[in-house]
Amino acid sequence: MRAALATVVVAGLGAAAFWWGTEGGMALTSEAARRLDIAAAPRMLPDVPLYDQTSAKLQLSDYRGAPVVLEFIYATCPDVCLTLGTAFERLDAVLPPGVPLLSLSFDPADGLQRLGWFANRHGAEAPHWRVAGVKDPKARAALLERAGVVVIPDGVGGFVHNAGLYLIDGKGRLSRVFDPEDTKGVLDALLVIEG
């Protein structure tokens, strides 16, 4: 009897621990946890200096005042960034002119030329759609850290990262993260913001 009682108590404690550790079963992966956390409490992103494909210099904070759709890419990426680029092409066609797109490279090797490649491949035209890099390594690391972007080497010269489409609200806060192909989610969320 006490064996059964003790087992039931342990099972209850275990269930409570799992409930706590997975946000009630909603966050089994760190990616799901990150998205839930950002949606619940939008994060202020650090104001980093950027340079875009036209060599224009700007600050991330220059975008404040209107929502922005952001993605993290690297110019020589063979797979997921192509999905991201294509998603931005679709968004570029339907977004209202007041909502800019920003493709941010996390690869320190992405100079002007490489940003240009990416911009040309996807038809990105500044200032509406900027393809930009962050020169300062510390600022770049701080931005990735705050956004919860984890970049690891893929073992064959490239990178693997938790890709997504990011919605930044008019106050400069990262407020939502969507799957790389979920342009509909981005549009619906923008309607809510603008609505």
The residue ranges that bind another protein (CB under 8 A) are 2-4, 6-7, 9-11, 13-14, 17-18, 21-22, 27-33, 150, 152, 154-155, 160, 162
Query: Shortest Cβ distance from residue 101 to another protein (Å)?
Result: 24
Determine contact, residues 152/160, Cβ cutoff 8 Å. Answer: yes
Please tell me what DSSP assigns to residue 45.
Answer: P
27 or 66: CB nearest another protein: 27
Query: Shortest Cβ distance from residue 20 to another protein (Å)?
Result: 10
Segments of 4-63 assigned E as strands: 43-44, 49-52, 57-59
Please tell me what DSSP assigns to residue 153.
Answer: E
Query: Shortest Cβ distance from residue 161 to another protein (Å)?
Result: 8
Alpha helices of 41-111 — where are they, by DSSP H? Answer: 80-94
Determine contact, residues 132/104, Cβ cutoff 8 Å. Answer: yes
126 or 142: CB nearest another protein: 142
13 or 44: CB nearest another protein: 13
Please tell me what DSSP assigns to residue 79.
Answer: S
Query: Shortest Cβ distance from residue 53 to another protein (Å)?
Result: 28
DSSP string covering 50-68, please? EEETT--EEEGGGGTTS-E
23 or 89: CB nearest another protein: 23
